[in-house]
Amino acid sequence: MRPNVFLGRHDPLLEWALRESGAGLATYFDGSSDGLERFANNEGIATGLHLYHPETDTWNEASVRSRFPSAPVVLAEFAWRERGLILSAHSKPGIRDLNGLKGHRIVPRQAGAGSQKLLEHLLAKEGLASTDIRYITRPEPKPTPPWRYWKAKPKRHSACWG
């Protein structure tokens, strides 16, 4: 039997909806890939995803089909997301697109996050290597959400992806 835990990506609207529903679900949000793996291991009843599949230019379906080829799972669309860069005031003039990130320090999402995988795909599509971007590494074992790190250290990096 699966525990009453909702897994996967963090989305403030989804978190609010789960809380307000009164369903009594616990949450464990540590990225789309982590949620998909935990769901496969029966660690929760559902997982939130936003995993881009560049070969098919689709979201979630290819990942779910490959991980659960014959399992009775359902994909339900909850919301659409916009992705983009949050720029510090001092770096706005020099960054107009992803190529403008070359040489800048940015706060990444955790490795299994769908947003981070999308950013890596988009950078590669623009011809940028991962070494062209100076990702800030974090010493803590659990990643701090980018917006919290941004607020704590406003002048140490140029951009945040999410």
For the chain, domain boundaries = 5-67, 85-161
* Strand-pair category, 52-53 with 58-59: antiparallel
Q: Which CATH class is domain 85-161?
A: alpha beta
Q: What are phi and psi of 39, to 5 degrees?
A: -60, -45
Classify burial at 7, counting beta carbons within 10 Å of its beta carbon; exposed 0-12, middle 13-18, buried 19 or more: buried
Global pTM value: 0.70
Taking only the tens of pLDDT, the chain with its 162 residues reads 899 999 998 888 899 999 999 999 999 999 899 999 999 999 999 999 989 898 998 889 999 999 999 999 999 988 887 778 888 777 767 788 888 888 888 888 877 778 888 888 899 999 998 888 888 876 555 555 555 554 544 455 556 565
